[in-house]
Chain A
Amino acid sequence: MIRSDLAAKLAGRTTFGADLDRPGMLWAALVLSPVAHGRIRRVDLSKVRKAPGVVVAITAPDVEKLLPKGSGDPERPVFPTREVLYRHQPIAAIAARTLSEARAAALLAEVDIDPLPIVDDIETVFPEWPEPSKKPNSAVVAHVHARHGDLEAAFREAEFVHSETYRTAGVHQVALETHACLAEVEGAIWRVTTSTQSPFSVREDLSSQLGLPESAVVVEGSWVGGGFGGKTSALLEPFALLLAAAAGAPVRLALSYREEFLLGRTTLPCVVRIESSVAKGRVTGRRVRMLLDCGSTMPSRDFATGYAITFLLGPYNVDTFEVEGYGLRTNKPPFGPHRAPLIPQLTFVIDSHMDSIARRLSVDPIAFRRAHVWHEGDSTALGQRIGPSGIDSALERAEKTVLRWRGNAPREHGFGIGVGYWSTGVSAGGEARLRLTPQELVIEQGEREIGSGSVVRGLVAVAERSLGLPASAIRVAYSDTASAPFDSGVFGSRTVGALGQAVQKASEELVRELEARTGTKGSLRLEFDGRSIRAVASGLRRPIAELLTPEELNEGGLKAHGKFYGPPMKFDESRVVAGSFYPVADVVGAVHLAEVSVDRETGAVKVHRYAAFHDVGVALDMAMVRAQVEGGVVMGLGTALTEESLWSSEGSLRNPGLLDYRLPRLNDVPPIEVYPVEGFPGAGPFGAKGVGEPPIIPVPAAVANAVADATGARVFELPLSPERVARALKLL
């Protein structure tokens, strides 16, 4: 199956956010804060306004004049009024006739800020670490705490308690396309076309941030040149809309690549203390403490801390535990989601730790994991029941592959396993409308294709299976938030699992209606001969044209509406001591295997072979599954080995570009073998499980464990740069 978006993309005809254009359009630029923390004394735009080509320039006091209600959300002002909280925070915006005029004018802004002390390091600002906080700490913006069982007894009675501290680095999404949007304000309608993973989330953000009713905000998604979590909420849209309102003309705002690094909401550093009590070859109790850098502000800080922390217990049965996490405010841009936010990092922690315990016990690391791993019917840490789970089956297959690979690899090579899981976001709802015409089936929905194929291919595959139609008869339609059915957006690997169920339900409704019209029951399918669609059942074979009413033929076909809103989920609240925790929805597991060699004199790690075993439920399109897994592994190798945001003590990002922010290059990527594990159905249509995020999750753990296997030395910090490995090898 060839993706329907491919021809236009290969020919360069696709309109991405950065390609948006309108007659009379102005170009925007942002004035960015020169310091990471400070009190604003003065923002003077008079020179900016006189600069060649400048049409409007706005800063905090201008915002209220432009908004119908005079103000938006006081918690999230568009521009800071008194205090800047991170370096490069936008403090003013400019629209000019050309991009170069806008950017040149931005340099003329006179900004007077009294610098204040900055917080850049989470361990420094939390003096009790690794003990819990003893007194109120203004840097703590989230605190989560849960426990179950008698942990003190488990630790007391253990043969040993294995204690380790791990640290992880901030990583960027690095979508090829930067954030970009085009804003138009006409009458009461504030309209923005934007490169987003979720038009409806952007609408909600704009509505609250600008104090506008949702009906006054219209968001249209453009084609998206990669999201990876970085385009799930509003970022540039408020600036562009306010400029458009001020100028009375369309305004386009797109970040340069450098700005994308400086302003992007990304994963930030984290430190974890993890301790496990061990008796009779089993983990009997576990305590984890986590400090998470939340950056300057973050609406979802509770979620980041409370959702992530239970992953530190792994997909393993440990009924006696205590987890405690702190989200800390620092003078960095706000923390933001990145493909399975923070979970590759936390999986590196828990699965390095499991591997380390197995080695201390001198037992096979895979067997040790299999003795603890979740099976169907087991419970999560917060007491939710696990559905059909293929993790153990994946482990079994990885075990056999390790044996085979060891047999034909040089003796100095190391082999490592990473075991990860993800909870796909099938609790977030969505709706889809189907229109069946005599010639085609149209899927009307509110998402945009971000490149993964989950919309152009995933939703189509669901309709194909539901109706019997080939993909060539199915078209996905996109529209703005004023006319598309609601959907939560492309995140959490939920598109096929959640919106796919809406498509499935609408398909079933279509079939029921056609069965009623033809007097058939239970076996009706649709067929396509390249020109027209027929309904087929036993003793029936009729063109759709004959089954539709004249009104339907005139008004776009037979329509069906499918809604999917996940059932409410509960967990055992009695285990929660403090803060917000979140239920897991649909557990999806993956086991990865890495074969590495390590240069014992320099610390350089080379990955030679890689295999990924994925619990996919049912693979609706194996080629797409393979592509997602390969892409996720490559991205994970970056997190594992080379990608790292470097911050100066003045709060500046020191590597805002691809020169020193090192993505994996294809030359450095090993052959990747992808194995689906089927037979453990998930919550999605036909038992499908999400596969967007799971492939990145086990990678850093697999590589780190392979390095430990090759050298006997464990690296406790991501990424595993040559220098960090050299330190672990005691070369310096």
Chain B
Amino acid sequence: MPFSLSTPKDPAEAFRLLVAGRPGETALLAGGTALLRDLDEGQNHATHLISLRKLPWNRHAWKGEALEIGSTEPLRTLENDPLVRARLPGLHQAIEAVGSVALRHRATLGGNLGRASPASDLIPVLLALEALVNLRSPRGQRVVDIEQFIISSRQTAREPDELIESVSIPRALPSAYVWQRVRPSNDISQVGVAVALGPPPGRWRVALGGVSPRPVRLPEAEEALVSRRPSEAEVELAAQAAARHAPFVTDRRATEGYRRRLVTTLVRRAVRSTAEHRARRAGPKGGR
């Protein structure tokens, strides 16, 4: 279907267009890797696209150990930042899991959050890292916890006149993201598991994708993990808790039963990978 395209150069112009547009007819275009497909297949009937690519939000910056990621920064740029890999291994693994290299040159974190897919590879790790979403509108700015931002499948706390400006990750943490798919490259994950360790030391966060209707934190699994280097028993309890409590469903990508079986393995692998990574970073003398 034909559509018109506006490319505002600053947020003020973007807001004007956003407010002038009618809901259902206007769509925000970030990387376009999902939107253009939806338009092509008649899943989205927007006739006016507002491209965010000229807005000054295609950058990321470290403030000490905190990372602020502009919403239109291409994922590939983040992936190529060696500090992202070193300080936020889980985020790096999640970015690498998204589509293909070519796609990551276009795809953005803002676009992924705005779409709020239950199968997102990025939302679980942002949940585990307790990221904050910075929203902006003509009314001003507000900060929303990622947990509150994602409401349901394709539903977020963003108001119609708001744009996602950036995402803040408060601190560098040992973390991991592991996934399972029918095809390893460029596929949608059947289950994705993100974990992050601390603070405080020994406090684990576990989040899942491939669940319904939105990626979730899993307190039952988190509570089973009580030490910085969890014992086999702790890990097993956490894995079992994940299998019991995760809101899995059957869809065309996997059955609920397979997802429950998978999640035990993936929780085990994610926790072990994080604990071992942390131990390696701490050096031969062991934990700090």
How distant is A636 from chain B, measured CB to nearest CB, in Å? Answer: 15
Tell me if B276 counts as interface (CB < 8 A to partner A).
Answer: no
With a cutoff of 8 Å between Cβ atoms, the chain A residues found around residue B40 in the complex are 256, 258
Please count how many residues in chain A sit with their CB below 8 Å of the partner chain's CB atoms.
Answer: 28
The CA of A137 and the CA of B265, in the complex, are separated in Å by 47
A residues near B100, Cβ cutoff 8 Å:
665
CB < 8 Å neighbour of A668 from B2, B180, B183? B183
Give A604's nearest chain B residue, CB to CB: B180
Given contacts A258-B41, A659-B188, A660-B253, whether A602 and B183 have CB atoms under 8 Å apart is: no
Q: Give residues in B with beta carbon < 8 Å to A.
A: 1-2, 37, 40-41, 100, 180-188, 190, 252-255, 257-258, 260-262, 265
Residue of B nearest to A603 (CB): B258
Q: Which 3 A-B pairs have the closest CB atoms?
A: A665-B185, A667-B185, A601-B265
Partner of B180, one of A606, A722, A732: A722
A104 within 8 A of B: yes
Which A residues fall within an 8 A CB radius of B? 100, 103-104, 256, 258, 601-602, 604, 606, 641-642, 646, 654-655, 657, 659-660, 662, 664-665, 667-668, 721-723, 726, 731-732
Contact of B183 with A659 in the complex, beta carbons under 8 Å: no
Besides A664-B183, A722-B258, A726-B258, 7 other A-B contacts (C-beta < 8 A): A103-B1, A258-B40, A604-B184, A642-B182, A655-B252, A665-B184, A722-B182
Q: Cβ of B188 and Cβ of A602 under 8 Å apart?
A: no
Given A103-B1, A654-B252, A722-B182, residue A662 in contact with residue B187 (CB < 8 A): yes
Report the bound CA distance from A726 to B258 in whole Å: 8
Known: A256-B40, A602-B265. A723 touches B183 (CB 8 A): no
Q: Who on chain B is nearest to A660 by CB? A: B252
7 contacts between A and B (CB under 8 A): A602-B262, A606-B184, A657-B37, A665-B183, A723-B190, A726-B258, A731-B261
- Give the secondary structure class of A's interface: loop
Chain A positions within 8 Å of B41 at CB level: 258, 657
Indicate whether A660 sits within 8 Å of B183 (C-beta atoms), given known contacts A602-B265, A726-B258, A732-B257.
Answer: no
Question: B38 CB to closest chain A CB, in angstroms?
Answer: 11
Q: A659 to B184, Cβ gap below 8 A? A: no
Chain B residue numbers with a CB within 8 Å of A722 are 180-182, 190, 258
Chain B residues lying within 8 Å of A602, measured Cβ to Cβ, are: 180, 262, 265
* Known interface pairs A657-B41, A731-B261; A721-B182 also in contact (CB < 8 Å): yes
Residues of B within 8 A of A604 (CB): 180, 184
Contact partner of A659 (CB less than 8 A), chosen from B37, B190, B258, B265, is B37
Q: Which residues of A contact B181 (CB under 8 A)?
A: 722
Nearest Cβ distance between residue A391 and chain B, in whole angstroms? 32
Selected from A100, A256, A662, the residue in CB contact (under 8 A) with B182 is A662
Chain A residues within 8 Å of B190, by CB: 722-723
Q: How far does the alpha carbon of A65 sit from the alpha carbon of B114 in the complex, in Å?
A: 53
Residue of A103, A601, A723 contacting most chain B CB atoms (<10 Å):
A723
Complex alpha-carbon distance, A256 and B41, angstroms: 9
Interface centre among B2, B185, B258 (most CB of A within 10 A): B258
Q: Could you tell me the distance between the alpha carbons of A104 and B187 in the complex, rounded to whole angstroms?
A: 31
A732–B259 CA distance with the chains assembled, in angstroms: 10
Residues of B within 8 A of A655 (CB): 252
Instruction: Enumerate chain B residues within 8 angstroms of A646, measured Cβ to Cβ.
Output: 252
Complex Cα distance, B190 from A642, in Å, reads 14
Q: Which residue of B lies closest to A721 (CB)?
A: B182
Nearest chain B CB to A638 CB, angstrom units: 9
Task: Report chain A residues within 8 Å CB of B184.
Answer: 604, 606, 665, 667-668
- Most interface-central of A258, A602, A654 (chain B CB within 10 A): A602
| In the bound complex, CA of A431 to CA of B93 (Å) | 58
